Amino acid sequence: MQIFIDSADVKELKAVAETGLVDGVTTNPSLVAKAGGDFFETLRQICAAVPGPVSAEVVAQDTETMLAEGRKLRTVADNIVVKVPLTPAGLRACKTLEQEGHPCNVTLCFSAAQALLAAKAGATFISPFLGRLDDNGQDGMGLIREIRAIYDNYDFQTQILAASIRTANHVRDAAIAGADCATIPPAVFRSLYKHVLTDTGLDAFLKDWKATGQTIL
Ligand code: E4P
């Protein structure tokens, strides 16, 4: 499963990218507002720091303006992916942009029927929002399983990008359910390393090694 980081904070993204485990980045207008700074400059810096796909979202509501925004976003760097909302206008923009060779990430997906339409529009990525469904009393992970089954039934190539991830268990369960990628907030990414038995086990090994009085180098 590819690991994307869900953030527009350049400093934080650079730090996480240094792990060598990051395959891409997703941003959205709320994350851009939270990070502050010039949108295009931020995108340039993120695209330089992370070689994989970097999703940047359009904000227009009509197809023509979405197309203009999407084409402009794609001039920032080759690894920009145009993020469009799962609306009729967004899917029309997706179809045209994909036909022009601009990869799209269809965002704000909350049902399997929506994901089917995004695949029909030729989207490179579909972003089902797990956490927001769970927050709403629905089964976010069940949606990933449904989309996986539909895409496998018809051999759709659209990649399932599990989004709105809240916990390490979300990451694990999305991987088990067959998501192609997960976009993870930096704090949740850091939590993936953690296990108390790793920490206590390492402490014991180092203590026992010290008692031998030897060195490796
Ligand atoms: C996905 O691309 C979105 O940016 C993101 O995952 C939204 O997550 P949230 O529900 O935590 O805002």
Q: Which domains does the chain have, with CATH numbers?
A: 2-212 (3.20.20.70)
**Counting Cβ atoms within 10 Å, is residue 90 exposed (0-12), middle (13-18) or buried (19+)?**
buried
**What is the tens place of the pLDDT at every residue in 166-208?**
999 999 999 999 999 999 999 999 999 999 999 999 999 999 9
How far apart (Å, rounded) are the C-alpha atoms in residues 217 and 210?
Answer: 14
Q: What pLDDT, in 10s, does the model give residues 137-151?
A: 999 999 999 999 999
Report residue 213 CA to chain centroid gap: 47
User: CA separation (Å) from 179 to 1, 88, 133, 194?
Assistant: 7, 24, 16, 22
**Tens-digit pLDDT profile for residues 23-43:** 999 999 999 999 999 999 999
Predicted confidence (pLDDT) per residue in 100-139, tens digit: 999 999 999 999 999 999 999 999 999 999 999 999 999 9
Interatomic CA distance for residues 205 and 82, integer angstroms:
48
Contact 160, 128 (CB under 8 A): yes
The β-bridge relationship of strands 104-109 and 125-128 is: parallel
Ligand 1 centroid – CA 167 distance (Å) = 13
Which pLDDT does position 51 carry in this prediction? 86
Which tens digit of pLDDT belongs to each residue from 35-90? 999 999 999 999 999 989 999 999 999 999 999 999 999 999 999 999 999 999 99
Most ligand 1 atoms within 8 A of CB, residue of 4, 5, 6 to mutate: 6
Residue 83 bears catalytic tag: yes
Q: Are the C-beta atoms of 137 and 126 separated by less than 8 Å?
A: no
> Ligand 1 within 6 A of 105 CB?
no
Residue 131 CA: nearest ligand 1 atom is: 10
Please tell me the predicted confidence (pLDDT) of residue 154.
98
Beta carbons of 124 and 104 less than 8 angstroms apart: yes
One-letter amino acid of 139: D
Q: Token pair of 78, please? A: 């080759």
Residue from 55, 57, 82, 183 to probe ligand 1 pocket by mutation (most atoms less than 8 Å from CB):
183
* Residue 164 burial (C-beta neighbours within 10 Å; 0-12, 13-18, 19+): buried
**Count of residues making up the chain:** 217
pTM above 0.75, yes or no: yes
